[in-house]
Amino acid sequence: MSTLYDIKLKISYRYEYPAAAGRSLLRIMPLNLPDQQLISGAVSCDPPGDFRRDSTDFFGNRTTELAHDRPLSRITFRFDGRVRRSADLVSFDLSRGLSAIRQETDAIRSIDPTSPHHFLGPSERVTPGAEISDFARDTVRSDMSTLAAVQAIAHALHRTMKFDPESTEVSTNPFDAFRKRRGVCQDFTHIMIAALRAVDIPAGYVSGFIRTIPPEGKERLEGADAMHAWVRAWCGADAGWVQIDPTNDMMAGNDHVIVAIGRDYADVSPVKGSMRAFGRQTTRHEVDMVSVSPAPAR
């Protein structure tokens, strides 16, 4: 079963004083995957860069590198495109018991981008910490399957944490958000990654979009008005990678369109930039993800 979406993303910056010439690195183009096809789409910039190079990064994400030689007082990055999503939601649990996950990971001898080993150690935004580790250990039982453990943690987190766009910023670290029991999708995702790694489950970050207008009779999902974030967890050699959205306590499926994957936000942030600006700077994100043919009833 598949769904077709038209997606528009607009990220704009305004500077009080013109920002010095700079370079930006974008990760805003959705990935092509077995269950997600980028049918058409383009990344654009206004004003256009004096230099542009499109490439892919270590994890296979699409990147656009832009350089502007002259100072700017505003800049807008856009993605416009159409994506077909055909995710099979996990119908039965292929994962082995949680107690075997360590062993399954050890058996993978690889440092290529798909290797779970990248997703176990500390990363720039997610380092181990006792509070989240204790929460994770209290939530799972060793006789659970790995997938069940992942779902249990997402569920517990969703129950414990309140979605609150006012409470945190993009630079908030997961421990502060967890202590406050409040945060946005980025905080939910970082906390869950820390929790999963604490119980030896390889876990990473997914940035993407979720549909703006819910199908009839369903609630609007949190995180639809900006880019969204959720978790990718490795459940062993047979079950592989699963994606789960702790902010909405659901497996990520056809409502979710994947843009980039990484160990945490630092690997996937949509705009990394080096515009040097003095004075005030305002940022605006606008996202629109509309299903173009109504999804058949499930």
State the residues that interact with another protein by CB under 8 A.
22-25, 50-51, 53, 55, 57-59, 65, 67, 69, 108-112, 115, 117-118, 120-122, 266, 272-274
Beta-sheet pairing, 203-210 with 228-234: antiparallel
Beta-sheet pairing, 250-251 with 36-46: unpaired
Are the C-beta atoms of residues 30 and 36 closer than 8 Å to each other?
yes
Shortest distance in whole angstroms from residue 66 CB to another protein: 10
Give strand pairing partners of 45.
77
Shortest distance in whole angstroms from residue 58 CB to another protein: 4
Output 120 or 157, the one with its CB closest to another protein. Answer: 120
Structure tokens at 236: 């062993």
Shortest distance in whole angstroms from residue 212 CB to another protein: 30
Compute the distance between CA of residue 285 and CA of residue 140 in angstroms, rounded to an integer: 37
Distance (Å) of CA 253 to CA 134, 140, 153, 209, 265: 29, 24, 18, 11, 21
Shortest distance in whole angstroms from residue 95 CB to another protein: 21
Output 109 or 298, the one with its CB closest to another protein. Answer: 109
Of 249, 230, 250, 244, the C-alpha closest to 159 is 249
> Euclidean distance between the first and final Cα of the chain, in Å?
9
Output 67 or 90, the one with its CB closest to another protein. Answer: 67
Output 119 or 230, the one with its CB closest to another protein. Answer: 119
Shortest distance in whole angstroms from residue 158 CB to another protein: 29
Output 82 or 117, the one with its CB closest to another protein. Answer: 117
Are the C-beta atoms of residues 285 and 10 closer than 8 Å to each other?
yes
Helix (H, G, I), strand (E, B) or coil at 268: helix
Output 54 or 238, the one with its CB closest to another protein. Answer: 54
Shortest distance in whole angstroms from residue 149 CB to another protein: 21
Shortest distance in whole angstroms from residue 113 CB to another protein: 8
Cα–Cα–Cα angle for 282, 286, 289, rounded to 5 degrees: 165
Output 96 or 118, the one with its CB closest to another protein. Answer: 118
CA 274 to chain centre: 22
